[in-house]
Amino acid sequence: MSKEIFALSSGYLKKVVPLLMKYQVPATPPNYALWYTYVANADNELSKKIDESIKETGTLSPTLSEELYNTHVADEKVKDVDEFQRGLQALALEMGNTMEDTLKDTATFQNTLDKTFSQLARVGEEALSMEETVAVVRKAVKGSNELRQSTNFFKSQLADAQKEISRLKETLQQANDDALHDALTGIYNRRAFDTELETLAAKPPPKGFSLLLCDLDHFKSFNDTYGHLMGDQVLKLTAKRLSDYCRDGINAYRYGGEEFALLVPNRALSGGCRVAETIRATIDKLAIKDKKTGKKLDNISVSIGVAEYEKGESIRNLISRADAQLYEAKNLGRNRVMPVT
């Protein structure tokens, strides 16, 4: 490494540490790599997204940090899945070879056994001596022992394979658990929501933030009537409409089941309610077609509860207040936003 490159790299690192401290970003290796790429202007798209986040929220959340790192720097999730696939391939190859060897040993023993029975048949026909008879039996016993060893080894391999499969399943499950997005809808999941909300509460944006809890109306009845496949389509379309509205720092999450959440930075209660009303009206216009009957289903609506974060309150209390407003919206007839501002 030349002195010029070393000096340049050192200069970048000296810029990274103050930025991590300024925006209260944990000094983890992935974050170092992420912000090093940022100060080096090595990825314009990455720099743009970081600048937008800082402008809207005053920081870079753990959720966004992880996503940007995975997308622009390392993509560790793909590595985890690749490792899982390679492990399965190696396991299948090893088990295939072991099974092939065992089948060969079985065929050999079968051949030995056939010859032994043929020779034993001669005992009565040709009056073989005792020594010749014992030799024939010993040969069969030897073949049996060899096959037993082969099958015992195969059994041991199966036990080892079972352990390896369990380990690989845990690896894949961990990769899935660490993922930021909901598998069905593609938007952020509950894990991402919890992380983001905790970060916002620890360092609220300059103008605070609001939490929106959204619940599809009569969704259980919809599933019972039209089936879960149609229900999944509704969830996907709802998530798509929420994603389309995600700008100016707003993020949407699948909170659980038919419930979604949005975190709206730099919006007080009235601003959060306006966002919620726009979303409610948009989803109220959703119409999907039942492929079985060709009938359009336009009875999709959502109820939304809104709460503005109060400085110093617990996350649990904020969620509880938003949930209470959601319950009130349901109680008053659904397809509405509460509170009314």
User: What does the pLDDT look like over 113-159, one tens digit per residue?
Assistant: 566 656 556 655 566 566 766 676 676 666 666 656 655 655 565 55
Residue with the bigger pLDDT between 34 and 149: it is 34
pLDDT band at 283 (very low <50, low <70, confident <90, very high): very high
Per residue in 13-28, pLDDT (tens digit) is: 778 888 888 888 888 8
Known catalytic membership, residue 310: no
Question: Considering the entire predicted model, what is its pTM?
Answer: 0.62
On whether both 52 and 99 belong to a single domain, the answer is no
Amino acid at 21: M
Tell me: do 142 and 195 sit in the same domain.
Answer: no
Element of type H or E holding 297 = strand 296-297
Q: What is the mean pLDDT of residues 155-166?
A: 57
Domain annotation covers residue 184: no
Shared domain for 329 and 202, answered yes or no, is yes
Question: Residue 200 contacts by C-beta under 8 Å, 6 or more apart in sequence?
Answer: 57, 61, 209, 263, 265, 309
Determine the pLDDT at residue 1.
Answer: 45
Q: How confident is the model at residue 5 (pLDDT cuts 50, 70, 90)?
A: low
Q: Kindly state whether residue 284 falls inside one of the protein's structural domains.
A: yes
Residue range 205-218: average pLDDT? 95
For 91, the domain range is: 77-178
Looking at the structure, do residues 70 and 124 belong to the same domain, yes or no? Answer: no
Question: Is residue 161 one of the residues assigned to a domain?
Answer: yes
Same domain, 205 and 169: no
Confidence of residue 260 (pLDDT cuts 50, 70, 90): very high
Region label for 21, one of left (φ > 0), alpha (ψ between -120 and 50) or beta (otherwise): alpha
pLDDT tens-digit map of 176-194? 555 788 888 989 999 999 9
Q: What is the mean pLDDT of residues 286-301?
A: 77
In a domain, 134, yes or no: yes
pLDDT recorded at residue 275: 96
Top mean pLDDT of 75-89, 153-167, 222-236 is at 222-236
Q: Is the pLDDT of residue 196 over 70?
A: yes
**Residue 69: inside a domain:** yes
Q: Domains in the chain: how many in total?
A: 3
Residue 29 has pLDDT above 80, yes or no: no
Residue 92 and residue 145 in one domain: yes
Whether residues 57 and 109 fall in one domain: no
Residue with tokens 């009957």: 293
Scan for tokens 């009303």, then name that residue: 277
What phi and psi, each to the nearest 5 degrees, are found at residue 312? 90, -10
> Which residue has better confidence, 76 or 306?
306
* Candidate list 258, 259, 277, 310, residue with the active-site label: 258
